[in-house]
Structure 1
Amino acid sequence: MLLSDTVLLVTGSTTGIGEAIARRAVAEGAQVMIHGRDEARARAVAGDLGAAARYVVADLLDPAAPQQIVAATVDAFGRIDGLVNNAALTTRASLETADLTVFERLVAVNLRAPMFLIQAALPHFRRQGGGTVLNIGSVNALGGEPNLLVYSMTKGGLMTMTRNLAAAHATEHIRINQINVGWTLTENERQVKQEEGLPEGWEHRLPPAYAPFGRIFEPEEVAAHAVFWLSAAAGPVNGAVFELEQFPMVGRNPDKAV
């Protein structure tokens, strides 16, 4: 198994991609700290995963949360080997509709929290002789949709942080990588798209320009990639930003007739 004898903290792991990563990690031999804001949901996921999982409830809008979450992980398992910065807010906002509250909330959860979670884990990684961080980004980091302005900015910042910290801590055997995830069919995405006006079942009627393979990603497929980057199978690869999409994000010029 890829993650035997590994302790992971996965933020935002009570639903969607984070939950899929946690479940796949346990299947690959890891012990996992489940994190979320909904205690009932966190308890349910951890309970379903059995002895390999614990849970912690914390709101990443709280500046104290990163230290608390990492401390809870170490208290539960005795150490922390890997951190998955998955939790994120995806609030829609364009330049015209964004306000200070939206901006500050997205920056706090999507950018501030990941940095301070890494900061909190760093002393533990050093004592153990290394560690692994996987930041869950978005292809929107490369530009993004107009109504995802603030979200895209935070993911662009996360990408810069990944590269900066990877270079800064490589000699300590701390690997920090990022996967920029493309369009994925989470529970939240299905609901949001219907709220935005798409009909029920929209995920089965996607234009080839957006889904050349006739569908978008499932969370479990993203989880399979995440587990690889967290494992020793990724070797010493560090500072990588891997785009997880059905087409190249840079330089693509799709057929206008399709």
Structure 2
Amino acid sequence: MRGLAGKAILVTGSSNGIGYAMAQRLVADGTKVLIHGRDQAEIDAACRHLGSATQGMAGDLADPATAQAIVDATVKAFGRIDGLVNNAGIYPRGAIGETTAEFFDHMFAVNTRAPLLCAEAAIRAFRLQKSGGAIVTVGSLNAWCGASNLTVYSMSKGALMTMTRNLADAIGPERIRVNQLNVGWTFTANEDATQQREGRKPGWETQVPVRQAPSGRIMQPEEIAAHTAFWLSDESAPVSGQVYEVEQFPVVGRL
């Protein structure tokens, strides 16, 4: 991808899954990447595999201080920060009528508050550098429809669309772009484990209904990573404030 080489990017939740695929793609495109996650051993393994263009830092995004800490770590490791991917998120199930304050608060702390705090920390760094920058936030198609056991998760992702548009409107004149990918059903090790716990058989990802996967399969992390690289790159400039549906079908009238 043109317009990425030499940039320094922070990808939250990048020690495994979709975030790891993003980091892998960005390194291949010539960027330096700060690998973030909660498990130091996973982070170390990711950095070893991806090579010298990466550095790692562990941190729980439920802790408000983590956002500034990982942005600072990116600047310390690479001398600057050019982009942020708000990828980290959690998706525990919860039944209607059984939501606790603790469940709600933890979901919003990680999925909604943390992306805002990370974005603001990155914006402060961009301003100090007088460099502009790019922020890509990973939302979810569930923001539009949800599911009976994902109501709080869907709410937490829906709020990100409002955040993205408001940030983009506020800081566009500073050459800081903010866009969002509403990602559809994607195969990861965690998603595979979740689906098998809920009764699906191995190989389920190629046997989902055509309505949900017209291509005959759900998406792969590498495909999400390609879209992320584009929105971080100079090739997508000056577009900002967009919520982009990464899915196989038109959302309106389908969900």
Please tell me the TM-score bracket, short chain as reference. Answer: over 0.9
Aligned twin of 1:211: 213
Equivalent pair of 2:206/2:218 in contact (CA under 8 Å)? no
Structure 2: tracts of 5 or more residues without a match:
none
Equivalent pair of 1:138/1:180 in contact (CA under 8 Å)? yes
Aligned twin of 1:230: 232
Deviation >3 Å, runs of 4+: none
Aligned twin of 1:256: none
Shift of 1:206: 1.4
- How far apart are the structure 2 equivalents of 1:209 and 1:121? 39
Aligned twin of 2:193: 191
- How far apart are the structure 2 equivalents of 1:88 and 1:97? 21
Aligned twin of 2:51: 50
Aligned twin of 1:33: 34
Equivalent pair of 2:8/2:82 in contact (CA under 8 Å)? yes
Equivalent pair of 1:194/1:200 in contact (CA under 8 Å)? yes
Aligned twin of 2:80: 79
Aligned twin of 2:67: 66
1:118 and 2:119 are equivalent in the alignment: yes
1:220 and 2:219 are equivalent in the alignment: no
Aligned twin of 2:94: 93
Equivalent pair of 2:10/2:34 in contact (CA under 8 Å)? yes
2:246 to 200, 222, 244: 244
Shift of 1:131: 0.5
Shift of 1:100: 1.5
- How far apart are the structure 1 equivalents of 2:181 and 2:148? 22
TM-score of the two chains, using structure 2 as the length reference? 0.97
What CA deviation, in whole Å up to 9, does each residue of 1:68-93 have, x standing for no partner? 11111111111100000000001111
Percentage identity across paired residues of the two chains: 53
Equivalent pair of 1:94/1:150 in contact (CA under 8 Å)? no
Equivalent pair of 1:166/1:175 in contact (CA under 8 Å)? yes
Equivalent pair of 1:179/1:244 in contact (CA under 8 Å)? yes
- How far apart are the structure 2 equivalents of 1:238 and 1:94? 36
SS of the counterpart of 1:108? helix
What amino acid maps onto 2:215 in structure 1?
A: F
Shift of 1:124: 1.4
What amino acid maps onto 1:228 in structure 2?
A: F
Structure 1: tracts of 5 or more residues without a match:
254-258
Aligned twin of 1:174: 176
Matched residue count: 253
2:163 to 148, 161, 164: 161
Shift of 1:143: 2.2
TM-score of the two chains, using structure 1 as the length reference? 0.96
Equivalent pair of 2:83/2:135 in contact (CA under 8 Å)? yes
- How far apart are the structure 1 equivalents of 2:164 and 2:96? 26
What CA deviation, in whole Å up to 9, does each residue of 1:92-120 have, x standing for no partner? 11322322221111100000001011111
